[in-house]
Amino acid sequence: MAKLNPYLTFNGNCREAMNFYKECIGGELSLMTVGGSPMEGQMPAKYNQSILHSHLKGNGFEIMASDMSPEALREGNDNHLCLTYDSEEETRKVFNTLSAGGKVLQPLSQMFFGILGDFIDKYGKKWMLVCENVK
C-alpha cells in the first residue's frame, strides 16, 4: 500500500521552514543533517549543516523536505509528489508505468534507507518513489 505526501526542496532554509510549518499546524518534526548521516563522506563539508531529510507528521498529514537538490532550484521544480511503498516489487512496477512517456531524472537507485527514484511524468508533474529498508 502506498502513502502519498508532498516532498519539498528548499535552498538552505529547510530547517527554518519546517519549524515554521510545525508551529503553524503542529505535528512531530524529525530533521536529519548531512553531517552525521551515511551521506556525510560523499558530500563536501560545507553541506554538513544542510538538511538531508526532514519529516513533519501530524494527525492526517505528512510533509517531507530537504535542502538537497541535484539541480538548481526554480519555481516549479521545488516540490514532488512522493509515493512511499513497503514493497520493492510494487515500487518498481509503479515507477516503470508512471514514468512511461515522461523523463526519468534518477532511476530507482539503492540508498542507505532503501531505494529512491524520481521523474517527470508525461504531464509535466514531478514524482519521487521510495521504498524504505530495501537492501
Question: Would the pTM of this model clear 0.75, i.e. be above it?
Answer: no
- How do residues 37-89 score in pLDDT, each as one tens digit? 988 999 889 989 999 999 999 888 899 999 987 677 677 667 788 898 889 99
DSSP notation for 53-118 = EEEEEETTEEEEEES--SS---TTSSEEEEEEES-HHHHHHHHHHHHTTSEEEEEEEEETTEEEEE
29 DSSP β-pair partners: 56
- How do residues 82-113 score in pLDDT, each as one tens digit? 898 889 999 999 999 999 999 999 999 999 88
What's the rounded Cα separation, in Å, for the pair 97 and 2? Answer: 15
Q: Has residue 135 got a pLDDT over 80?
A: no
* Across 12-32, average pLDDT: 93
Q: Which three cell numbers stand for residue 6?
A: 508532498
